[in-house]
Amino acid sequence: YCGEPFDNDGSMVASIVKNLKRVMAAEYSRELSAKIYRAQIQQACLGFKQGGPVPYGIRRFLVSHDGTPRLFLGPGDRKGLKSDRVVFMPGPDEELKIVRRIFRMFLAQKQSIANIAKTLNDEKIPSTDGDLWRWGRVKGVLRNELMTGYYVFNRTNHKMKNPVRRNPPDLWVRTRVMEPIIEPKTFARVQREFSLGRVFALRDPDMIRNLKCLLREKKKLSQAIINNCPYTPSAHAYWVHFGSLQAAYKAAGFICPPTGQRGKYYSDDDLLDGIRRLHAKFGYITIALIDKDRHLPNHKLFIKRFGSVVNAYGLAGFPTTTSESISAARQRTAARRRNAHAARPTASSE
């Protein structure tokens, strides 16, 4: 559609041809999507990985088109040939011991997912890619059927950028790909615990309390900071519970800076001190000076934080009423004129 030339001069014929081309392009996309879907189902039935992250304790192994072993793939590695395939393999023994321990802590010791993550982090046990353990990573180990040796594919449907929908179980592809790490009976007991609700579901007050603790510790909040914190749920969990990360930030008392200033959080005192600093330097304060200063955010953040820039001036101890502003402007003008007159060279007398 993008490569095929046609006249787009605004005429009726051009409009008809353009819409016809669009329909043809959309139909081609639908046909290509169906072909890829059938190919993915076929490859999943053969036990080949079809994308997505792997849980802790599992490794990706590269094989050729005829099944000849090649090498293990590290984090971020991809296959080099289209004909190669990726299969699942159990990870190192020390990781398999941690996986079995997680199941014991959840079943036998009745620990919550958050407590399991905290225990592993306190013992300095690295998670996937050497990162910290978080709520979602522990749950991923407890819920993934790869722990029983089965690869399950086609649980959800996300074709043509439509909203993600869950497929019925009869459409799932379940293939045995390796020896089990966890006994199937143990895995089934864990899933029964999840179905009965003993998963210590996240509660909004607890999530906000943890977010406030993180804000006091880091002085700011972001998606990366939340995901790297061991005692808070993932940023996606906050998005699901509160509708957006900004809503969660607001509930925790954090006001997200505007776009372009997200790398730094400015407290109210920081903003007011910046106004005082500019006034001490120039003798007056304006929106232009605020926007020009590289140590301060855009004036829109002042409006968002204090209601208006004038209110911010008042909180910083400077004139806020119209008459006071006019009087201050006149004083500045008179001062500039006096300075200019003093700096003007005097004519030499003959």
Q: What is the pLDDT of residues 275-326, one digit of tens each?
A: 888 888 887 788 888 888 888 888 888 888 888 888 888 888 876 666 666 6
In order along the chain (350 residues), what is the average pLDDT of each group of 10 residues? Answer: 71 83 88 92 92 89 89 86 91 93 91 86 86 85 93 87 85 92 93 73 82 88 82 81 84 71 67 86 82 84 84 79 65 72 56
pLDDT confidence of residue 197: 64
How many whole angstroms separate alpha carbon 275 and alpha carbon 17? Answer: 59
Q: What does the buried/exposed string (b/e) look like for 255-293 if buried means 16 or more CB atoms within 10 Å of the residue's CB? A: bbbeeeeeeebbeeeebbebbeebbeeeebbbeebbeee
CA 326 to chain centre: 47
pLDDT confidence of residue 131: 82
- 129 near 75, Cβ under 8 Å? yes
DSSP 216: H
Q: Model-level pTM greater than 0.85?
A: no
pLDDT confidence of residue 117: 87
How many whole angstroms separate alpha carbon 237 and alpha carbon 187? Answer: 24
- 264 near 220, Cβ under 8 Å? yes
